[in-house]
Structure 1
Amino acid sequence: MSGERRADGENVVRAYYESLDEGAYDRLEEHLTAAFVHERPEMTLSGRQEFVRFMRDERPRTDTSHPIETIYRAGEETELAAKGRLVADGETITGFVDLFTLADGRIDRIETYTD
């Protein structure tokens, strides 16, 4: 996390979306555990490297942003949910809720639910 460890779960979640939206894939990788898993409606990506490779090289659109409306917390900063929208060219593609599980200050798992 670029020299500083983010202890607050909400900051980690926000940094994840910022890295993704900016195409900062090295920084994105820093926010994930090695065993990271992302469950999406259409697929599951297992492992930090597979996820970052997919986001960098294979996702259908890279010109998107993820405005976050609300971040909900549960437990001791290890379980969070982010409600937001996937936007391209000023238009909402879909709404989503991402459920985050953190371990040692990094994202270990995301479960994505879309409209």
Structure 2
Amino acid sequence: MTDATDLARAYYDAIDAGDYDRFEALLAPDIVHERPDRTIEGRETLVGFMRDDRPNTDTSHEIGAVYADDPGAEVAVRGRLRDADGAPMFAFVDVFEFGSGSGDETITRIRTYTQ
């Protein structure tokens, strides 16, 4: 069993590295990502958005803290999104929910809160 905090960290690592195969493997097929500007439903749609449709793909996530009361339950991640030059773009909190299927843990829902 993979620790939920490891899955949350792997989410950012995969996006920042542009490793969309790894990113896809972290997500449940029916994932829902609720963002301030839109809700994205489905793994293929979310991967396509992150790979092709984000306003700025040359970014990195600086993780400030990861909060988990109960391993395997919700995990909250507080951080900053930085541009290619390292300048902060905005602060965020992402709340992750997890599920499992066929023995593999996946991210089932993400709620993003920004400044």
TM-score if structure 2 supplies the norm length? 0.92
Determine whether 1:99 maps to 2:88. no
Residue pair 2:28, 2:43 contacting (<8 A) in 1 also:
yes
Q: Give the SS at the match of 2:2.
A: coil
Q: Deviations over 1:19-53 (max 9, x none)?
A: 00001001000000001010000000000000000
Q: What amino acid maps onto 1:69 in structure 2? A: G
| Same amino acid, percent of matched pairs | 46
Determine whether 1:30 maps to 2:25. yes
The 5 Å alignment of 1:62-81 reads 62-81=57-76
Structure 2 residues without counterparts, runs of 5 or longer: none
For structure 1, which segment, 69-78 or 86-95, has the greater mean C-alpha deviation from structure 2 after superposition? 69-78
TM-score if structure 1 supplies the norm length? 0.92
Quote the Cα distance in structure 2 between the aligned partners of 1:16 and 1:76: 17
Quote the Cα distance in structure 1 between the aligned partners of 2:22 and 2:49: 15
Q: Deviations over 1:47-81 (max 9, x none)?
A: 00000001111101110000111000133422100
- Displacement after TM superposition at 1:7 (Å): 1.2
CA RMSD of aligned residues (A): 0.9
Q: Give the SS at the match of 2:44.
A: helix
Matched length: 110
Q: Give the SS at the match of 1:50.
A: helix
The 5 Å alignment of 1:36-75 reads 36-75=31-70
Q: Give the SS at the match of 2:68.
A: strand
Q: Deviations over 1:87-106 (max 9, x none)?
A: 01111000000000011121
Match of 1:82 in 2: 77
Match of 2:111 in 1: 111
